[in-house]
Structure 1
Amino acid sequence: MSLLSRITAPPARHDVARLVATLLTHRQDARRSAPQALPGTTPRPAGTALPTGPTGLGTSAARLAAGKARETWRAGKAGAAGEAGNVAGKPAAGAPGAPGISVAPVASGAASDDRGTGVPELYCPPALRDDPALAREVNDRLVDWADEAGIYAGRLDRVRAADFGRLMMLAHPDSDDPDRLLAAGKCALAEWATDDYYCDDETMGSRTELLGSHLGLAYTALDPSHLPARYAPAWEEEMREDPVRVALRSGLDHLSRYAEPSQVARLRHEVAVLFVGYEQEGSWRSQGRMPGVREYLAHRQINSFLPCIALADVVGGYALPASEYAEPRVRRAVTMAATAATLVNDLYSMTKEHDSSGVEFNLPVVIAEEDGCSLREAIERSAEIHDELVHTYETEAAALALTGTPELRRFLAGVWAWLGGNREWHAGSPRYNGA
Structure 2
Amino acid sequence: MSASSASGSSLRLPGPPGLVPVAPARRSGAVPGLRHRPAAPADPAKAAEVDRRLEAWVRRLDAFPKAWTGDFAGFQFGRAVVLQHPGAADLERLTVAGKLLLAENLVDNCYCEEDEDRGGSSRGLGGRLITAQSALDPFHSTPELEAQWRRGVQADGPLRSYHGALKDYAVFASPSQTDRLVHDLARLHLGYLGEAAWAEIRYVPPVWEYLMMRQFNNFRPCLSIVDAVDGYELPEALYARPEIQRITALAGNATTIVNDLYSFTKELANDPSHLNLPQSAGCGVPSVLSSLDGVTLGHRCRSGVRGSLELWHEHAQAVPE
Match of 2:316 among 380, 390, 393: 390
Match of 1:360 among 274, 279, 289: 274
Paired with 1:112 and 1:219, the residues of 2 have a C-alpha distance of 38
1:244 and 2:158 aligned = yes
1:379 and 2:320 aligned = no
1:149 and 2:61 aligned = yes
| Inter-CA distance 88–347: structure 2 relative to 1 (3 Å threshold) | closer
**In 2, are the aligned partners of 1:143 and 1:159 still within 8 Å (CA)?**
no
**In 2, are the aligned partners of 1:190 and 1:251 still within 8 Å (CA)?**
yes
TM-aligned CA deviation for residue 77 of structure 1: 4.3
Residue 335 of structure 1 corresponds to 249
Count of residues in Structure 1 that have an aligned counterpart in Structure 2: 297
Deviations 1:131-166 (A, max 9, x none): 110011112212222233333312111111211110
1:180 and 2:90 aligned = no
Q: Residue type matched to 1:144 in 2?
A: A
When structure 1 is superposed on structure 2, of 368-377 and 215-224 the one drifting more is 368-377
- Which consecutive residues of structure 1, in runs of 5 or more, have no partner in the other structure? 1-72, 82-86, 92-108, 399-435
TM-aligned CA deviation for residue 89 of structure 1: 4.7
Match of 2:149 among 235, 253, 257: 235
The TM-score, its normalising length taken from structure 1, stands at 0.63
Match of 2:216 among 295, 298, 302: 302
Match of 1:225 among 134, 139, 147: 139
Residue 287 of structure 1 corresponds to 201
SS at match of 1:213: helix
Paired with 1:199 and 1:89, the residues of 2 have a C-alpha distance of 38
- Which consecutive residues of structure 2, in runs of 5 or more, have no partner in the other structure? 19-24, 293-298
**In 2, are the aligned partners of 1:129 and 1:173 still within 8 Å (CA)?**
no
Match of 2:46 among 134, 139, 148: 134
1:198 and 2:111 aligned = yes
Paired with 2:275 and 2:15, the residues of 1 have a C-alpha distance of 38
Paired with 2:16 and 2:236, the residues of 1 have a C-alpha distance of 29
Q: Residue type matched to 2:143 in 1?
A: A
**Root-mean-square deviation (Å):** 2.8
| Inter-CA distance 110–249: structure 2 relative to 1 (3 Å threshold) | farther
Residue 37 of structure 2 corresponds to 125
TM-aligned CA deviation for residue 230 of structure 1: 3.1
Match of 1:312 among 201, 226, 230: 226
Higher relative CO (Cα under 8 Å, sequence separation at least 6) belongs to: 1
**In 1, are the aligned partners of 2:139 and 2:149 still within 8 Å (CA)?**
no
SS at match of 2:39: coil
Q: Residue type matched to 2:312 in 1?
A: H
SS at match of 1:231: helix
TM-aligned CA deviation for residue 353 of structure 1: 4.2
Stretches of 4+ moved more than 6 A in 1?
Answer: none
Q: Residue type matched to 2:50 in 1?
A: V
Paired with 1:163 and 1:132, the residues of 2 have a C-alpha distance of 11
TM-aligned CA deviation for residue 121 of structure 1: 2.0
Deviations 1:365-414 (A, max 9, x none): 11115585621111011011011111222xx1x2xxxxxxxxxxxxxxxx
Residue 276 of structure 1 corresponds to 190
| Inter-CA distance 141–351: structure 2 relative to 1 (3 Å threshold) | farther
TM-aligned CA deviation for residue 207 of structure 1: 2.9
Identity %: 34
Paired with 1:301 and 1:360, the residues of 2 have a C-alpha distance of 18
The TM-score, its normalising length taken from structure 2, stands at 0.84
Q: Residue type matched to 1:111 in 2?
A: R
**In 1, are the aligned partners of 2:89 and 2:231 still within 8 Å (CA)?**
no
